[in-house]
Amino acid sequence: MSYIFTQEESNRISRAVKGSLRLATTTPLNLSLPITSIDGYPLADQDRILVRVQSLASENGLYQWSNITGKLTRTNDGRILASGLILTISEGLTYADTLWSLKTNDPIIVGITPLDFALLAPYPSAPSFPPEYVLVMGGSVNGSTSSVSFGAIPFDPSNYASMTSLEFVVVMSTTDTSFSGTVNLYNLTDREFITGTTINTSSTDPVKISSGALTIGSGVGEIKTSERFYQVWLSTNGPTNNDMAFLDIGFFKIS
């Protein structure tokens, strides 16, 4: 069984899917001047290019390069575009093998309407962060308890070559504004508190608090460069029996 598209259906498909382009721009271009390369690759005649970061966004769109003029001009199929169109980029130092979509809402008049192309997959590479270095979740201490430790997780800074410093971040809340709690990060392996992680807070609502940058090294009170087990310690400071602190979550943050 075969199916013949109507002219309108063919037009919709043409507007929605533009297939493969070779390269995508990474910086604005002067389209009136000749160019020789994009995203680290030399251009070849008839290369199809996604121009996407022009200072004047109405200049963005689908272009083709000519080896005669050395310039980019809009492709024939890039003169009629629709919101949500899908296209792929096959090469480039930055955007090889990526999938893009046109975010701009219809109606679109090419050359007049500002065009915004969004990267769908894969997302740009990001620094390697610990996936789940959660130290504590849902712990609490009341007025009859002076201090409680929560969690015990391994953390190895040597796995993250780009890391220069760490923050120890917690979110906690209390039942009384007069309540004061002290939060510390504790190296369970070496049995020592980490310098700079004492945090005092009193709040009836959850609040995120940070110790600031921690020192990475081999000394006492430093985050060791090889794997250690860490805990969160919460100590109460003169509460009544009705006072309670909730340590909602504690985690590492690479800064």
Q: What is the pTM of this model?
A: 0.47
Determine which helix (DSSP H) or strand (DSSP E) holds 41, and give its type and residue range.
strand 41-42
Asked if 74 and 18 touch (Cβ cutoff 8 Å), the reply is no
Q: Give phi and psi for 50, each to the nearest 5.
A: -90, 110
Residue extents of the structural domains in the chain: 7-121, 134-254
- Give the domain 134-254 fold: Jelly Rolls (2.60.120)
**pLDDT tens-digit series, residues 200-253:** 766 666 677 777 788 888 889 888 888 888 888 877 766 566 667 777 777 777
According to DSSP, residue 223 is labeled B
Q: Lowest mean pLDDT: which of 10-24, 32-46, 139-153, 162-176?
A: 10-24
pLDDT over 60 at 190, yes or no: yes
pLDDT at 243: 66
Q: How confident is the model at residue 184 (pLDDT cuts 50, 70, 90)?
A: confident
Give the chain's end-to-end CA distance (angstroms, integer).
60
Three-state DSSP class for residue 16:
helix
